[in-house]
Structure 1
Amino acid sequence: MYVLHAQFSESGLWELWAEDSERARAFAAKGGKGKAPAGVARHPFAADPAELAEVLKGAGPVVAAALAEADPRGSLPLALPSGPRSPLPGDRFARVAGLAEAPAHAARAGAEGAARPGPELRAWIVPTLALDPAAGAGLLLALGGGDLLTVYDEEGTERELPLDPSVSYAHAVAAFADALVSRGEIHPWLAYQPQERGYFASWVPAYALESAAHRRALISAMPPAFRCQLLGEELTGLPAEEVFDNALAALVDAYVLAAFAGPHGLHGEPLVPAGRRGRPSAAELWLRALTTTKGNRLDPDLLEPEQADELIDLLEAWTTAAVDEEGPVRTCFRLRDPGQQEHDVEDWSVELLLQSTQDPSLLATAPEVWKRSGAARLLRQTGVDPRQALLQGLGRAARYFPQLGEALRQPSPDVVRLNAEQALHFLRHTAPALRERGFGVLLPPWWAGKRARVSLNLHAEAPASQPGAAEQEKDAKFGLQELLKYQWKASIGAIELTDEEFKELAAAKTDLVQLRGEWIEVDAARLAAAAQALGSAQTGTMTAAEVLSQAMHGLDQKRLPRSLLDNPLEVAVSSTGWLGDLLSGSVEQRYAVAREPRGLKARLRPYQKRGVGWLTFMDGLGLGAILADDMGLGKTVQVLTLLEQERTEAGRRRIDPTLLICPMSLVANWQREAERFTPRLKVHVHHGSERLEGKAFEREVKGVNLVITTYALALRDREQLSEVGWRRIVIDEAQAIKNAATKQARAIRSLTAPRRIALTGTPVENRLADLWSIMEFANPGLLGTAEQFKDRFARPIERGNEGADAAAERLRQATSAFVLRRVKTDPNIISDLPDKVEMPVVCNLTSEQASLYQAEVDRMLAAVQSAKDGIGKKGVVLAGLTRLKQICDHPALFLKDGSRLPGRSGKLARVEDLCDEVLAAGERALLFTQYAEFGGMLQRHLAERFGRPVAFLHGGTPKAARDELVRRFELPDGPPLFVLSLKAGGVGLNLTAANHVLHVDRWWNPAVENQATDRAFRIGQRKNVQVRKLMCAGTLEERIDRVIEDKKGLAERIVGSGESWLTELSVTQLRELVLLSGDAVVE
């Protein structure tokens, strides 16, 4: 058992060492034989640093990464409480190791029964792990501030490593340094170090008052073990304040430099601007040293020492002027507002005060200071002259508070009078400047530091229920075309304004106004612009569609003043009745749970009945619906139930047919499902070379309920399909139209019908433009143009900048009424589907693979650097990435030479092992690859390797053969392994006979991979589904896996392109992505 200690050494390194219980017991077992050690001896039960490092690496990747830079040959002379022959154990070590006192000391005393001398400080050499400030800074935060550190050994066994108080203290110092950097309480510095004969740049703390108090508290709390390093022959240790300040300064500098080295830091800027000649100035050299992790010494070959000395003088003068002197009292300013009485709104004042720094609640007013009365008497007990202290503080503050100058002309200044505009400037600018320089500032409790949000609220009155189906057929003015009464209201923050208040505030000429007895800061110009935009039309009537448009896009841009175009007002839309429920996402109370029609030959689950009810509700309103249930939850049967329900209710009345557009691979599935669940529906398949055309087609579809065709034919036969009056259009696997600009997507959107349904398990795959394209089909124009959608939602969300969460929430609210999404992992949705377990499988490359990989990396990077334009670069990158992925699969796939497979691929060897385990358990597996050629190789190899049949499906498999493969695999005696190309087998198949899924290579698109996994993870699956995603260690596959996990969050936030983003990487970023790590090959 180890107990970990931490020290910050005089040499500027973080040093870790540990007491080792096994060594302590072994030392004690010797009975402390021999003479007491002369001179400075090695600590007898200190742990070996290399062994300590191996233990600590089990604390996690951050600690392991820091220790990779550690030197296990470090040592420190420490002054430790000692007995005659050994140091006494630390208190924590004594408890956890069961040692009440020093081992040798205890053994000797027990044997002789003699009186024992008390402990004394003695010097010992302690072997340490030495870390530079940057590595130590990262490690200390990761260690945490508790008493125990959880570590894992190579077998994954967990244990707790006790921490000495010196480690907990070091963590507290690191956390304080991190907080100072986060708050900006730092400044740059330059110093000459005589021992190094050079000038060095660094970042140092710049304490605010509260931080200065925290510094003093930490120095007081320093455990003796943290400052016990010997300095010369003195055994008293280093001064606590010196140790603390040195450690904190090193940590602050390390955290700032880490920020500069991060993704938003500075990288490779030139020292001298382009076109400049001559040496860089000392200031330029200083700036570079401040922002690089490659060393903080100013280049002596370029530096003019005289310039550096001048810069040091300027910095000292600047820091002296910027920070108020710390002492027992400080000058303080308290802003008073006019209050709630009928005062003049211009009557603002700033009181001048003297404040105790030890007890900030102790305040003396200026009159008390001048009269030496009241609290001023108490402040005088601190040893300062309150009058002199206040006058000095006011003199320093005058440069930041211009209005103070006039007050200082008075013999006994006590208050500064301000108008509303000056008061607002004090709140926004003067108060922060004074605080930064150590002055006390007291502001009214209502001040939030930012303007109150101005927004508009549109409220509409809709009836409690929608018309019935019969009335809807007769009356065109139902649903979105229904006329509703509306009223506009304005809000400031959470306060909805009356019409009178709105008019009064809109006419105000100042941003600081009083509303209902409270002072707030508003944007007066913005309020006036809002009033101008609404004009006199604050009440009236508009259609439900217009109300929804306001909810999506806010005010009509044609009505907006120029000041609101770039920064539009937030518009909140509410309504009573069915429209209110639609807007709030609580429409479940408006639609009835569907009953199973008599012609339905299936038992719907409760969530499926709700889904049919929702589709019926949306149909009745004339709204397009996106049914986005997870794959396997039965979207097909819900749509068929809707059609059967309509057929039953229509009786003998003829209704127009529904057009269903789906991928070719799903045509037969829809046809079979309709025959199985809704045999009374008349279905016509428009597909194949013998499909009907012209009048024959029109006559045929008039007598059917459902027409099924493919995406390809929707484009090719667009004119033919446009001639038919469709009741609705349904698209399955709607992500097929995610690229809105394609001819296919445009052709499908051009088909007209009063009702539209989009079915998809992934409404957002990678880009939010996917959602816009699908919504544009379902509800044309509802999300605005593609460019408007990009500006309002896609760009802020996908870039993850400030406002991304708010934009994501607005988009969720805007689309939630039109998207119904249920996930199969929700226990409330389905109870008979076992959870799936996903796990990464990391493989090593063979030497042959590594050689090919490195050669391809070199070739690709050279080609990228020589590419003449962006298009050329993109082609080189995409082709190179494909070749690298093929090498990771197998050299034979990359070389295309028909060579043998066994023994040449680490990934193939792992596939063999996994398949062996699957077959041994009597189970089945699906193996997905994006390369059809590799799929064929796998099929032949695995069939030969295991002597069992292996099925293979790819894009070139004819439809009849495809259906037969699926049928055979689902039989009890079917093939145990099924290899599928990802594109051909990723959608439209039921393969629940398998409960293992292997993604042999990665598509780099989580939505596509999840679709493929869902071939097995669907209704009817009775076993736990295990999903393994294979990747090669130390290659782009392992690195890209992290990106895949990040991209998943996009789909989950809104209701989750490919490889195109990789082409935008710089050469440096691309090199980091594809670099072959040393751990890639293990042979």
Structure 2
Amino acid sequence: MWVVHALCGADGRALVWAEDSELPAKVPGRAPTGPAAHPFAVLGAELIERVGGQDETTALLHLPSYASAPVPSPELVRDPLAGGAKPRGALRLRRWFVPAVHCPPARLRDLLGSVPEDCRLGSDARFALEVAGFAEQLVDRGGVLPDLVQEDDRPTARWTAALTGAGMARFANLREAMPPALRARTGGTPDDVLRELLDAFVDDEVRQRLGRAELGEGPSAAARWLGALTGDPRLEDSAELHQLGERIAEWRAGIARPDPVRACFRLHAPEEDDEDWTVEFLLQAVDDPSVLISAQDVWSGESHVLRRWVSQPQELLLADLGRAARIVPALERALRSAQPGELVLDTEGAHEFLVNAGHLDHAGFGVLLPAWWGRAPKLGLRLNATSSSTAGVVSKDSAVNMGTLVDYRWDLAIGDEPLTEDEIRELAAAKVPLVRLRGRWVQVDPARLRAGLRMLDESGSGQMTAAEVLQQAGEPGQDDSRPFPVVGVNASGWLGDLLSGAAEQHLEPVDPPAGFGAQLRPYQRRGLAWLAFLDRLGLGGCLADDMGLGKTVQLLALEALAREGARKAPTLLVCPMSVVGNWQREAERFAPGLKVHVHHGGDRLGGEDLGEEVERYDLVITTYPLVAGDGGALRQVRWERVVLDEAQHVKNSSSKTAKAVRELSARQRLALTGTPVENRLAELWSVMDFANPGILGPLTRFRARYAVPIERDGDESAAARLRQITGPFVLRRTKTDPAVISDLPDKVELKQLCNLTAEQASLYQAVVDDMLQRIAGSEGVERKGLVLATMSKLKQVCNHPAQFLDDGTALAGRSGKLQRLEEILGGVLADGEKALVFTQFAGFGGMLVPHLSARFDTEVLFLHGGTPKKSRDAMVRRFQEPGGPGIFLLSLKAGGTGLNLTAANHVVHLDRWWNPAVEDQATDRAFRIGQRKDVQVRKLSCIGTLEDRIDQMIEQKKALAQLVVSSGENWLTELSTNELRELIALDAEAVGE
């Protein structure tokens, strides 16, 4: 995989370079004394061939680096051990020679918009696209100025951005969001670098639009400059051009100097019994828009604060009103007054002002509009569908599918509320696009309203297929062929149950066929009915039951039921390697009639041989890496269904694995996961796009409509809309719901605080002091890397000094957390019970195994990412047996999913992952069906350290986390230095006696 980067040069040409995850980092034995070749940069010739560009070049970039190699871009997935020893030493900026290609800005937009599938845009490239869009907007509204500058000691004609009002605010927002990578070439200030990039795009955009138009002719300096604004920008040097450049600089300085205050217009809607709208005039501070001075105070001279900014506020207000009147002519009436303070409008005039408010804003004026404008309830169409089957019930014999015809009727609606005939007549009779309806102002296009009424007369009711109804419900408002957007879908009967997400509650519970080796619980029978229902309709779905509620047995029951008395194509089950054996055993145990084949190992078949072989089986099991590696052979088979177990493995929609599973051909697709969302809502989009492609629209629109409002703002209404859209295709049951399962034991979670030893405290403080000293001079990627590295070091110190020092010394008596772990395990073993111990550090697990074995004179099992499948299966089997080992140590990533370890009724999280979803997944290895004892979960943290404080912060954020998404660790890098200092400071209470 490549990561493509885009920087900007002062010559107006973009610089494109890329990193390749397949190229090994060349790690020299000592730090380079000067600039060195970037060890995993793509060669310029290959870049031109694969991506595009013009001429090859070499750039000297300042990149965050270790002593041995540059730090890969965050978007580049690399093995940190690839190509040599692990990089060590401090992070700092170092110079690297990087092969690159030059590219005009216009070509850059096309290039970045269509990179190959195995390329990913770096943050700087994505940012460049956003700046290009801003440049287009500036050119659209004439926000450009010509200039004459010196480039390479030659006069050069350039078009540059003219920023006023909203443009200045947009520039400031972009400057704050600018990735540090954009400064890798110049090292300039963010303001300078962004200005250079924006002006390059503006100059290119203006020249593209003007074409070869002749702006000037003749030998004079001015004519040659004007000609260069559309032709070759470089000019031959002369004294006349120098003088012209000085005059142009004076002219630009005069018109570009912003005033500290500006005119602001605030629109007031009429009260209930009033018909007049009022535009209030004010002066607004440009740097602090919250400072507003009414025109009345301006004329009375009572606002002394104005004197700090401008000596003649009255003249400034009149001048601004005069300029604004050229944009909104109605303002001229206010200028007839000697001391204008407001403008009274009727509804038609108010609508015209609202429409032109954006032009005022773009021209640099302040505009304050009623809160409802821009998010007023939309006039739209509401679809009402009625299925012919009995409402609320669908039996297993019901002949319904996506082709079933249902009755429909279109209604006009505002938001979710249908309009009455009287209200429709009132709207039709309105002469102004702005109408007050049910106490709210609504914008109505009379032409579109007439078209909508004609549509209702001609095709307002009839019949359509269930698939067409689902398409309208999945992405309402996307059909441009209708006069109004579809604002809602209401359905009755079985279709209504599906759309409401209540199908599982209303379907008749289904039993698996005779011979199935498990007695399904009531909620599992309803889950089977839901799966069979989707199967009959040919729809994909996501069974998102909590870990341990039996997703495996429900899927096997579906396979047995669907194949009862019928020969069908095989089902492909994709799962992690750690649970392949579990699927084999469960299938043999519960559905012995299913013929199961495992596609794995060096002797596995491929091509046509695979296709012929799998036809003999009902269920083919393979792993995620093999779907990506053997995709060509697997795509040749037409599967009955494709099932993803632990579907969070495809949460990154751009990964090779996610793309591979989406390309498989199947009649139906199902996803099984207890955590459809771990960190970001984009993960849910990826899972749902596999199950029902396109159901949530493109990822970019999904992010804008749902992910950003929910994750950034905690928008409850956006979360409700998302639940409504995904509800028909996601079945989610939790173990804490008494209606789901009543015989599962209790789970008791305990947070246990441990003290540090004196040695731990000393090491902890040393790490803190080192970070605070180094972070003062770092920023961007370097700062984020430093913060995350420090967090990891502090967690290691809290675990044990020997883990942090990695010196092979003995463990006994040096860690308060280890002492508490020994106390817990001693009690567990004394009671004849068993425990799971999770750590995110596999290396620390390796240290604990011999220590705990010697301490308790017992065998300690250890499962980590490098454990072979046979050994893994043997460990699980031995642990589950009566009399088997009582302690099972697991690395969180390798043992946190897909295992059934109900022999344990104690779970210890030795170090915190700070992601509740991941920790809950690990806990569910023991707290699941088959568990007969109450489960005690202990989460160990060191008091007075960052572990203690972050746990408190997560508790405060739980309301948002429970909305739709859990928290990861990257948010820590966004904390300010003062917040970090408070977070990692060591309290006196942290050290034990």
Cα distance change of structure 1 residues 603 and 493 upon mapping to structure 2, 3 Å threshold: closer
- Give SS of 1:680's match: coil
The aligned amino acid for 2:534 is M
Cα distance change of structure 1 residues 818 and 452 upon mapping to structure 2, 3 Å threshold: closer
Cα distance change of structure 1 residues 482 and 1035 upon mapping to structure 2, 3 Å threshold: same
Contact 1:797–1:807 at 8 Å: present in 2 too?
yes
Q: What is the aligned counterpart of 1:489 among 401, 411, 430?
A: 411
Cα distance change of structure 1 residues 456 and 696 upon mapping to structure 2, 3 Å threshold: same
The aligned amino acid for 1:705 is D
Cα distance change of structure 1 residues 791 and 940 upon mapping to structure 2, 3 Å threshold: same
The aligned amino acid for 1:740 is S
Matched ranges for 1:258-337 at <5 A: 337=273
Q: Provide the C-alpha distance between the structure 1 equivalents of 2:432 and 2:472, rounded to a whole number of angstroms.
A: 30
Residue 978 in 1 paired to residue 897 in 2?
A: no
Cα distance change of structure 1 residues 744 and 924 upon mapping to structure 2, 3 Å threshold: same
Structure 2 unaligned segments of length 5 or more: list them.
Answer: 1-189, 192-269, 278-343, 355-371
Contact 2:575–2:645 at 8 Å: present in 1 too?
yes
Cα distance change of structure 1 residues 497 and 836 upon mapping to structure 2, 3 Å threshold: same
Partner in structure 2 of residue 612 of structure 1: 528
- Give SS of 1:753's match: strand
- Give SS of 1:974's match: coil
Alpha-carbon shift at residue 666 of structure 1 (Å) = 0.7
Residue 926 in 1 paired to residue 857 in 2?
A: no
Partner in structure 2 of residue 848 of structure 1: 759
Alpha-carbon shift at residue 888 of structure 1 (Å) = 1.0
Partner in structure 2 of residue 816 of structure 1: 727
Partner in structure 2 of residue 165 of structure 1: none
Q: Provide the C-alpha distance between the structure 1 equivalents of 2:986 and 2:474, rounded to a whole number of angstroms.
A: 48
- Give SS of 1:1070's match: helix
The aligned amino acid for 1:813 is Q
Partner in structure 2 of residue 1016 of structure 1: 926
Q: What is the aligned counterpart of 1:704 among 590, 608, 617?
A: 617
Could you report, residue by residue, the CA deviation over 1:1039-1077 in whole angstroms, capped at 9, with x for unpaired residues?
A: 221344456555643494632222233333333322223
The aligned amino acid for 2:635 is S
Q: What is the aligned counterpart of 2:900 among 970, 983, 990?
A: 990
Matched ranges for 1:704-783 at <5 A: 704-783=617-696
Q: What is the aligned counterpart of 1:683 among 596, 599, 602?
A: 596
Cα distance change of structure 1 residues 521 and 1048 upon mapping to structure 2, 3 Å threshold: closer
Partner in structure 1 of residue 742 of structure 2: 831
Partner in structure 2 of residue 194 of structure 1: none
Partner in structure 2 of residue 791 of structure 1: 704
Contact 1:840–1:1030 at 8 Å: present in 2 too?
yes
Partner in structure 1 of residue 442 of structure 2: 523
The aligned amino acid for 1:843 is C
- Give SS of 2:845's match: helix
Q: Provide the C-alpha distance between the structure 2 equivalents of 1:1071 and 1:506, rounded to a whole number of angstroms.
A: 63
Matched ranges for 1:497-536 at <5 A: 497-498=419-420, 501-502=423-424, 504-505=426-427, 508-509=430-431, 520-525=439-444, 536=455
Contact 1:837–1:1024 at 8 Å: present in 2 too?
yes
Q: Provide the C-alpha distance between the structure 2 equivalents of 1:1082 and 1:570, rounded to a whole number of angstroms.
A: 64
Matched ranges for 1:172-211 at <5 A: none
Residue 949 in 1 paired to residue 825 in 2?
A: no
- Give SS of 1:754's match: strand
Could you report, residue by residue, the CA deviation over 1:216-271 in whole angstroms, capped at 9, with x for unpaired residues?
A: xxxxxxxxxxxxxxxxxxxxxxxxxxxxxxxxxxxxxxxxxxxxxxxxxxxxxxxx
The aligned amino acid for 1:585 is G
- Give SS of 1:479's match: coil
Q: Provide the C-alpha distance between the structure 2 equivalents of 1:628 and 1:622, rounded to a whole number of angstroms.
A: 19
Matched ranges for 1:321-360 at <5 A: 337=273
The aligned amino acid for 2:460 is T
The aligned amino acid for 1:627 is L
Count of aligned residue pairs for this structure pair:
644
Q: Of the two structures, which has the highest relative contact order with CA contacts closer than 8 Å and spacing of 6 or more?
A: 2
Matched ranges for 1:309-708 at <5 A: 337=273, 421=347, 454=379, 456-464=381-389, 479-482=401-404, 484-492=406-414, 496-498=418-420, 501-502=423-424, 504-505=426-427, 508-509=430-431, 520-525=439-444, 536=455, 539=460, 542-556=464-478, 558=480, 571-588=487-504, 591-650=507-566, 654-708=567-621
Q: Provide the C-alpha distance between the structure 2 equivalents of 1:531 and 1:1013, rounded to a whole number of angstroms.
A: 60
- Give SS of 1:480's match: coil
Structure 1 unaligned segments of length 5 or more: list them.
Answer: 1-273, 276-333, 339-344, 348-417, 429-446, 473-477
The aligned amino acid for 2:809 is S
Cα distance change of structure 1 residues 743 and 948 upon mapping to structure 2, 3 Å threshold: same
Q: Provide the C-alpha distance between the structure 2 equivalents of 1:835 and 1:531, rounded to a whole number of angstroms.
A: 62
Cα distance change of structure 1 residues 452 and 1057 upon mapping to structure 2, 3 Å threshold: closer
Alpha-carbon shift at residue 861 of structure 1 (Å) = 3.4
Contact 1:507–1:528 at 8 Å: present in 2 too?
no
Alpha-carbon shift at residue 1026 of structure 1 (Å) = 0.5
Contact 1:453–1:522 at 8 Å: present in 2 too?
no
The aligned amino acid for 1:608 is Q
* Between 480-489 and 901-910, the greater mean CA deviation after superposition: 480-489
Alpha-carbon shift at residue 728 of structure 1 (Å) = 0.4
The aligned amino acid for 1:877 is V
- Give SS of 2:666's match: coil
Partner in structure 1 of residue 970 of structure 2: 1060
Q: Provide the C-alpha distance between the structure 1 equivalents of 2:747 and 2:834, rounded to a whole number of angstroms.
A: 15
Contact 2:753–2:941 at 8 Å: present in 1 too?
yes
Alpha-carbon shift at residue 468 of structure 1 (Å) = 9.4
Partner in structure 2 of residue 1003 of structure 1: 913
| Larger gyration radius, structure 1 or structure 2 | 1
Q: Provide the C-alpha distance between the structure 1 equivalents of 2:443 and 2:777, rounded to a whole number of angstroms.
A: 55
Partner in structure 2 of residue 126 of structure 1: none
Alpha-carbon shift at residue 845 of structure 1 (Å) = 1.4
Cα distance change of structure 1 residues 514 and 1069 upon mapping to structure 2, 3 Å threshold: closer
- Give SS of 1:829's match: coil
Partner in structure 2 of residue 1028 of structure 1: 938
Cα distance change of structure 1 residues 346 and 901 upon mapping to structure 2, 3 Å threshold: closer
- Give SS of 2:572's match: strand
Cα distance change of structure 1 residues 346 and 880 upon mapping to structure 2, 3 Å threshold: closer
Contact 2:433–2:446 at 8 Å: present in 1 too?
no
- Give SS of 1:522's match: strand
Cα distance change of structure 1 residues 588 and 1011 upon mapping to structure 2, 3 Å threshold: closer
Could you report, residue by residue, the CA deviation over 1:481-521 in whole angstroms, capped at 9, with x for unpaired residues?
A: 55555433223477522456335415524588676xxx633
Cα distance change of structure 1 residues 769 and 528 upon mapping to structure 2, 3 Å threshold: farther
Contact 1:420–1:512 at 8 Å: present in 2 too?
no
Q: What TM-score do you get using the length of structure 1 for normalisation? A: 0.55
Partner in structure 2 of residue 85 of structure 1: none
Q: Provide the C-alpha distance between the structure 2 equivalents of 1:1079 and 1:533, rounded to a whole number of angstroms.
A: 71
Alpha-carbon shift at residue 939 of structure 1 (Å) = 1.7
Partner in structure 2 of residue 858 of structure 1: 769
- Give SS of 1:573's match: strand
Q: Provide the C-alpha distance between the structure 1 equivalents of 2:843 and 2:650, rounded to a whole number of angstroms.
A: 27
The aligned amino acid for 1:828 is A
Q: What TM-score do you get using the length of structure 2 for normalisation? A: 0.60
Partner in structure 2 of residue 1078 of structure 1: 988
The aligned amino acid for 1:687 is H
Q: Provide the C-alpha distance between the structure 1 equivalents of 2:452 and 2:700, rounded to a whole number of angstroms.
A: 23
Cα distance change of structure 1 residues 493 and 919 upon mapping to structure 2, 3 Å threshold: same
Alpha-carbon shift at residue 1079 of structure 1 (Å) = 2.4
Contact 2:750–2:938 at 8 Å: present in 1 too?
yes
Partner in structure 2 of residue 383 of structure 1: none
CA RMSD of aligned residues (A): 3.8
- Give SS of 1:676's match: helix
Q: Provide the C-alpha distance between the structure 2 equivalents of 1:534 and 1:585, rounded to a whole number of angstroms.
A: 32
Q: Provide the C-alpha distance between the structure 1 equivalents of 2:744 and 2:875, rounded to a whole number of angstroms.
A: 25
Q: Provide the C-alpha distance between the structure 1 equivalents of 2:856 and 2:272, rounded to a whole number of angstroms.
A: 86
Could you report, residue by residue, the CA deviation over 1:661-693 in whole angstroms, capped at 9, with x for unpaired residues?
A: 000011110001000111111011001111122
Q: Provide the C-alpha distance between the structure 2 equivalents of 1:939 and 1:535, rounded to a whole number of angstroms.
A: 77
Matched ranges for 1:846-925 at <5 A: 846-867=757-778, 870-925=780-835
* Between 937-946 and 774-783, the greater mean CA deviation after superposition: 937-946
